Chains A and B, each alone.
Chain A
């Protein structure tokens, strides 16, 4: 049973606009959340993370928001660039192992 869900398999955004990728989880014991980015034929690479004691973490164009009451995580990319086109995975951890979502494929249109 999927404990981490990404319900949008794909998303298209115009260059310069905001991309919002969403993730929902079911296990209230998760205390650490991450986003990974994956290009074709490559492994996922770590992008940004957030601890459950925070509700926002920012790194340049990337911001992750955590809503613990809703068990919802989102990644905002502003402004979106064509190089951001990739598959994005969210992941959650209880400290023992990571649980990944199925990914959202982002296409940024020039």
Chain B
């Protein structure tokens, strides 16, 4: 079975540019999560969806961040405009059900904002 697929794996761009990260969850999973990993804070939940509907976006750091899930097999996380402090590894994860269900992670997108 294909796991969670994220693209691109690496993104280097200049400050002020728009960045779009993509995620394809595991087929049949109804929950999708976006995380950001930093050394200081570990894995932080940014937003999660249930059946394509955003449920909790309280972890989104600023209005510069937005996420969409137009269908069950695709989600995007967009940063506009990007800033150097957004540099981190961004992970997407999916699960079937939520309560007490392990989340399956993609391999992440390493984002560098110059």
Judged by a CB distance under 8 angstroms, whether B70 is at the interface is: no
Query: Could you say which residues of chain B place their CB within 8 Å of the CB of A98?
Result: 33, 45, 103
Q: Are A102 and B41 in contact (CB under 8 A)?
A: yes
Query: Could you say which residues of chain A place their CB within 8 Å of the CB of B56?
Result: 96-97
Q: Are A97 and B39 in contact (CB under 8 A)?
A: no
Interface flags for B39-75 (1: CB within 8 Å of A; 0: not) read 1111111001000000010000000000000000000
- B110: shortest Cβ distance to chain A, in Å? 8
Judged by a CB distance under 8 angstroms, whether B106 is at the interface is: yes
Bound: A3/B99 CA distance, A: 18
Query: Could you say which residues of chain A place their CB within 8 Å of the CB of B104?
Result: 46
Q: Are B102 and A89 in contact (CB under 8 A)?
A: no
Contact of A100 among B43, B98, B99, B108 (CB under 8 A): B43
- Residues of A in contact with B, size category: 20 to 34
Q: Are B100 and A46 in contact (CB under 8 A)?
A: no
Bound: A45/B108 CA distance, A: 12
- Chain B 87-114 residues near chain A, CB threshold 8 A: 91, 93, 98-100, 102-108
Residues of A within 8 A of B (CB): 2, 6, 32, 34, 36, 41-46, 49, 51, 89, 91, 93, 95-103
Residues of B within 8 A of A (CB): 4, 33, 35, 39-45, 48, 56, 91, 93, 98-100, 102-108
